[in-house]
């Protein structure tokens, strides 16, 4: 596999193993890219500071919200393209891992929306239609729409990606925070940790909210944006079929009977603690949408750290240091954008022209 010009296969030199590509970060972005590069013949190592599955990936709701009007305009083409890639992306992961990831394609019901969906197939709904689609919901008032979106269980998705990665011979180093990019002769040569180093021809920073904390090369202005969520047991079978987005909360059903309720957007640094009052407010907001949820038993409450950037756009592509690439800062859309990110970053790392224009996401936009 030709990578970044002419840096070739795995070899051993004085008993030090070297990889074609080291990916920093084992969330869904890093794992998806690792799988894509491995298909092209690269020897890949994924280095994750925690456990593979990733901070934001494990905590996400899993809405594939490619129709969301809050998606930045420059990101909409990639969001639409990634949604189209998702069925095949999931099929491959399930086939290789033997795990189901609960991809649901029933669509979303948007309550009290502003009618500005980006989806050409969005359908307006009156109160009677909303009630027919989801009898559990409170009487609808105001504008409502149906969006043909999907959802997926992010924990099952990342678990399947991890198993598929191991099946393909991708190596995983977990619980190993990368401290700096190893640089020699003006190019990236691997990564260093507190105890060791991992040599490679190419390094890709997929470290999410931690992407800017790695020394030795370009600094990326990623930051953690905290989101608190909870899950409850549905009051009865088939209680909720569609994702529901309404004032104060959204509801995401799972096929196993769970319903996820989220989520907050908080500038709280790397603080992952949940707040009982905040969780209670989310639960009440969910009950305002579907009254029977007020008595639903809570299973779990948690907080995740989304990787934000100053302009709410991801950072994708090569950096000013040869051999060093970045795919980070996906904010609320990491699950949705995983397939298209893997596709485009594989093309960039191999020195090919990316299928879509990613110039708006260049790391250079943050450099003076």
The pLDDT value recorded for residue 118 is 66
Superfamily of domain 108-148+224-308 in CATH is D-Amino Acid Oxidase, subunit A, domain 2 (3.30.9.10)
The Cα–Cα gap between 24 and 306 comes to 16
pLDDT at 11: 38
Instruction: Look up residue 45 and give its two tokens.
Output: 């190592």
CATH architecture group of domain 11-59+156-222+311-366: 3-Layer(bba) Sandwich (3.50)
User: What does the block give as tokens for 337?
Assistant: 């954008």
Q: Contact at 8 Å (CB) between 104 and 150?
A: yes
CATH 3.30.9.10 residue ranges for the chain: 108-148+224-308
CB 61 within 8 A of CB 258: no
Q: What are phi and psi of 144, to 5 degrees?
A: -135, 150
pLDDT of residue 114: 61
User: HSE-up of 322 (CA within 13 Å, CB side)?
Assistant: 10
Residues of the chain within CATH 3.50.50.60 domain(s) are: 11-59+156-222+311-366
Sign (positive or negative) of CA dihedral 322, 305, 331, 269: negative
pLDDT of residue 143: 80
Residue 229 sits at the vertex; the CA angle it makes with 228 and 231, to the nearest 5 degrees, is: 160
Give the pLDDT of residue 2.
Answer: 46
Cβ(267)–Cβ(227) under 8 Å? no
pLDDT at 53: 77
Largest CA distance in the chain: 72
Residue-level pLDDT at 14: 45
Which residues, at least 6 apart from 70, have a Cβ–Cβ distance to it below 8 Å?
none
The confidence score (pLDDT) of residue 265 equals 96
Q: Are 85 and 344 in contact (CB under 8 A)?
A: no
DSSP labels for 170-186? -EEEES--EEEEEEETT
**So what's the pLDDT on residue 141?**
67
What is d(CA 125, CA 140) in angstroms, rounded to the nearest whole number?
10
Cβ partners under 8 Å of residue 295, min gap 6: 235
One pLDDT digit (tens) per residue for the chain, 368 residues = 445 433 333 334 445 799 999 999 999 999 999 999 999 999 999 999 998 876 778 899 999 999 888 899 999 999 999 999 999 999 999 999 999 999 999 999 999 766 556 677 889 999 999 999 999 999 876 789 999 999 999 999 999 999 999 999 999 999 999 999 999 999 999 999 999 999 999 999 999 999 999 997 668 999 999 999 999 999 999 999 999 999 999 999 999 999 999 999 999 999 999 999 999 999 999 999 999 999 999 999 999 999 999 999 999 999 999 999 999 999 999 999 999 999 999 999 999 999 999 999 999 998 75
């Amino acid at each position: 596999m030709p990578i970044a010009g002419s840096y070739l296969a795995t070899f051993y030199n004085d008993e030090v193993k070297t990889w074609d590509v080291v990916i920093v970060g084992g969330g869904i972005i890093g794992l998806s890219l690792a799988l894509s590069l491995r298909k092209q013949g690269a020897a890949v190592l994924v280095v994750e500071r925690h456990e593979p599955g990733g901070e934001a990936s494990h905590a996400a709701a899993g809405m594939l919200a490619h129709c969301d009007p809050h998606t930045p305009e420059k990101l909409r083409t990639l969001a639409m393209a990634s949604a189209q890639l998702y069925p095949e992306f999931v099929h491959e992961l399930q086939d290789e891992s033997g795990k189901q990831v609960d991809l649901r394609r029933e669509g979303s019901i948007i309550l009290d929306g502003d009618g500005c969906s980006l989806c050409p197939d969005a359908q307006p709904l009156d109160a009677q239609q909303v009630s027919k689609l989801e009898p559990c919901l409170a009487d609808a008032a105001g504008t409502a729409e149906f969006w043909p979106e999907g959802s997926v269980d992010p924990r099952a998705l990342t678990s399947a990606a991890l198993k598929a990665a191991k099946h393909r011979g991708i190596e995983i180093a977990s619980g190993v925070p990368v401290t700096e990019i190893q640089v020699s002769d003006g190019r990236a040569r691997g990564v260093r940790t507190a105890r060791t180093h991992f040599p490679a021809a190419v390094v890709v920073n997929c470290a999410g909210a931690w992407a800017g904390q790695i020394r030795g090369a370009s600094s990326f202005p990623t930051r953690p944006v905290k989101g608190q969520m909870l899950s409850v047991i549905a009051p009865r079978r088939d209680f909720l079929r569609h994702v529901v987005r309404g004032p104060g909360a959204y509801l995401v059903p799972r096929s196993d009977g769970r319903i996820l309720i989220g989520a907050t957007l908080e500038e709280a640094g790397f603080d992952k603690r949940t707040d009982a009052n905040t969780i209670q407010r989310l639960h009440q907001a969910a009950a305002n949408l579907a009254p029977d949820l007020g008595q639903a038993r809570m299973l779990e409450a948690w907080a995740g750290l989304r990787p934000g950037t100053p302009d709410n756009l991801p950072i994708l592509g090569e950096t000013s240091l040869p051999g060093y690439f970045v795919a980070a800062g996906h904010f609320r859309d990491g699950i949705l954008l995983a397939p298209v990110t893997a596709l485009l970053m594989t093309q960039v790392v191999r020195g090919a022209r990316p299928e879509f224009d990613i110039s708006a996401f260049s790391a250079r936009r943050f450099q003076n």
